[in-house]
Amino acid sequence: MLYLSTRGHPDRKRFCEILLEGLAPDGGLYLPEFYPQVDSATLEQWRAVYAQKGYAALAFEVLSLYIDDIPAEELQGICERTYTRQVFGTDEIVPLRELEDLFYLEALSNGPTLAFKDMAMQLLGNLFEYELARRGEELNILGATSGDTGSAAEYAMRGKRGVRVFMTSPRGRMSPFQQAQMFSLQDANIHNLAIEGVFDDCQDIVKAVSNDLDFKRRYRIGTVNSINWARLLAQVVYYFAGYFQATHATPVGGSPSKVSFTVPSGNFGNVCAGHVARMMGLPIEKLVVATNENDVLDEFFRTGIYRVRGSADTHETSSPSMDISKASNFERFVFDLLGRDGAETRRLFSDELGRKGYFALNEHGSFGDASGKYGFASGRSSHADRVDTIRETWQRHATMIDPHTADGVKVARPFVQPGIPMIVLETALPIKFAATIVEALGKEPDRPSRFDGIEALPKRVTILPSDMAAVQQYIAQHCA
């Protein structure tokens, strides 16, 4: 399997090369040259594998279609070390909870940092450690987080040989619990950089540093944001797991059952993994994109216009991990939407966005495919919506959900279709956003004992301006 850039760079690379590289040399994102196809027979084989051997075995089946430069037995071992009860607290790893008839939550937040990012980040940490040891090299990971990516990356990479983490985050824009999870870590290979700005400023810095090819090569810069294909690939697995739990085996000669997924979305990585699963052949009826007040993605799927916002127009909300106005992974979907036209994708994301701050596909011949061929829909949720949804879900189903998951539940309901399971991807445990839970329910959410008193622990964080040069200088000083 070879990988190409969404912006048309002529090079083709193997998985382990792009694992350590992050962005392509032309600023594009990597995708496989083709999506391996899973027919009905293979789907049923995987259903049996999942039922008999569990999530790690299913992960190996999916990943092995895309990774052919790690020996099969090694890749299988990495999956088995990653997806364990010890790490995720349950043998099911991603159990479904049925709220009402054919309406489910898929629990993705049982990992070390109580957020869905652990599902991919734990795998990424083991892949990095394996490949760096094989090469005898080191890697400096530069990332940006709006809340959950940072802690998931740091917990996955802490103590890993050959890896340093430099994680940028918007100063004061995360919940107190999220900040404490990251800033309380004292491991020497973990560096927290609080940037004076919003998440998009952090993300812009990461991309700019990655596009400084001399600096990137000199300091061995890699990424853990979902611009890294390996992370997105890991997320594909739980779409298959959710499908198998919500449906029955396909009868001989029959058609597979369909499901729909609703995904709380900011950077488009989580739902882009669903797009990849659908392109592989998973029978998904609809992929519903749920946004908060920062509704760049909802606007696109309603109008065909992708219009990024500046820092001043990025709202600070009660679902802060979605306070994003430049959806990096969206480029992967647009590349497919445009028939994999790298030159046109480069023109839109490099020229049009840079010059006008938006591009319009509403008159483009392919735009109708977003809701047709590719099965996307979207909706928007507000603070009042998520508070009401948290309260209603607790009162009706005795289930406490976090604000981002509440956005998903609220947006999902108009898209429920008779006879088709709707699966809402849970994104985090409520304790990470206690203030909103207290507002909705008048009570504190449960806190895992290992996080008791975390907000009072000593903090290890450096405040920097929103400036690429300042971040580069910090990296250079701490890589000496």
Rg (alpha carbons) of the chain, rounded to whole number: 21
Q: What is the pLDDT of residue 28?
A: 95
Are 235 and 120 in contact by the 8 Å Cβ rule? The answer is: yes
94 and 236 Cβ atoms separated by less than 8 Å: no
d(CA 427, CA 160): 26
- Reported in sequence order, the residue ranges of 241-387 that DSSP labels E, i.e. its strands, are 259-264, 284-291, 305-307, 358-360, 376-380
Rounded Cα–Cα distance for residues 64 and 320 (Å):
35
Who's near 189: CB < 8 A, 6+ residues apart?
157, 158, 159, 160, 163, 164, 165
The whole-number pLDDT of residue 320 equals 87
Whether the Cβ atoms of residue 169 and residue 202 lie closer than 8 Å to each other: yes
pLDDT at residue number 364 = 77
**Type of residue found at 111:** G
Closest alpha carbon to 262 in 113, 105, 68: 105
CA dist 286 → 119, 242, 262 (Å): 23, 14, 8
At 165 the three-state DSSP class reads: strand
- Confidence class for position 480, pLDDT limits 50, 70, 90: low
- Statement: residue 21 has pLDDT above 90: no
Phi, psi of 272 (to 5 degrees): -65, -35
| For residues 16-33, average pLDDT | 93
Rounded to an integer, the average pLDDT of 332-344 is 96
- DSSP-assigned letter for residue 289: E
- What single DSSP character describes residue 115? B
The Cα-based distances of 1 to 34, 36, 63, 128, 332 in angstroms read 8, 9, 11, 19, 18
Interval 351-363: pLDDT, tens = 899 899 999 998 7
Mean pLDDT of the residues in the chain: 94
Q: Is the pLDDT of residue 264 over 80?
A: yes
Residue 252: predicted pLDDT: 81
- What CATH code is assigned to 96-111+230-441? 3.40.50.1100
Find the range with the poorest average confidence among 44-48, 153-157, 158-162, 236-240: 158-162
Is the pLDDT assigned to residue 4 strictly greater than 80? yes
Report d(CA 431, CA 441) in Å as an integer.
Answer: 13
Residue 119: which of 106, 108, 104, 107 has the closest Cα?
108
pLDDT tens across 289-314, in order? 999 999 999 999 999 999 998 888 88
Q: Which two tokens stand for residue 43?
A: 């789907």
Dihedral of CA 19/324/144/155: which sign? negative
Residue 363 is predicted with a pLDDT of 74
Quick check: 20 and 222 in contact, CB under 8 A?
yes
Q: Is the pLDDT confidence value at 17 over 80?
A: yes
DSSP H or E segment with residue 194: strand 190-195
Share of the chain above pLDDT 70, in %: 100
pLDDT digits (tens, 9 = 90+) for 412-471: 999 999 999 999 999 999 999 999 999 999 999 998 888 899 999 999 999 999 999 999
Residue 423 identity? I
78: number of Cβ within 10 Å: 22
| Residues annotated as catalytic (active site), given as ranges | 117
Q: How far is CA 367 from CA 9, 169, 309, in A?
A: 24, 34, 21
Give pLDDT tens digits for 175-195. 899 999 999 999 999 999 999
